Amino acid sequence: MLDSNYFILNRHPQKFSEMRIAGKVLVFTGEDGRPLDFGVVQTGTNIYTVLECDEVRNITMVTDKDGHQDVITILWAAEDDYQRDKARLAGAMKRRFYVQTKKLNRYAESIAEKLAIGVRLRVTDAVDESKMAVCPECGMLNPPGSMYCLDCGAEIS
């Protein structure tokens, strides 16, 4: 359980006490009321994707601006603050938040790495593997209800 809220830019954490939304800008402030180092984030077209995980009260954004990528993670200590700020972010950003597992930060970093070499990705929600059909021949996970494996073509019963 966290004791504080955290604003993390490229794995460098800072505690924040408040998140303010001013138009298309997010401002993360410390206990002194001043913005954190690099704690001002533009929410416009430079946000490539937004990932969320309710289980760990985490929202992670991948930015892509002028060939530079950042991974910004926001963690909340309290569930009420997380739910309130998540709703405020969704309203201000007017974009889809993709539901992920606890591994969302590693996923975000891999997205940033691909963007750095010019590869654009389609981001989707995480898949619940327990609902997938396992191919009896190759072990590949396939969407529920699949009659044939998408990898080897074997029949899935």
Residue 125 reports pLDDT greater than 90: no
Q: Domain 5-116: give its CATH architecture.
A: Roll (2.30)
pLDDT band at 112 (very low <50, low <70, confident <90, very high): very high
pLDDT score for 109:
93
CATH 2.30.29.30 placement within the chain: 5-116
Written as one string, the DSSP assignment of 102-139 is TTHHHHHHHHHHHHHTT------PPP-GGGSEEPTTT-
pLDDT score for 126:
83
Residue pLDDT, tens place only, 35-84: 999 999 998 889 999 999 999 999 999 999 988 999 999 999 999 999 99
Bigger pLDDT: 122 or 18?
Answer: 18
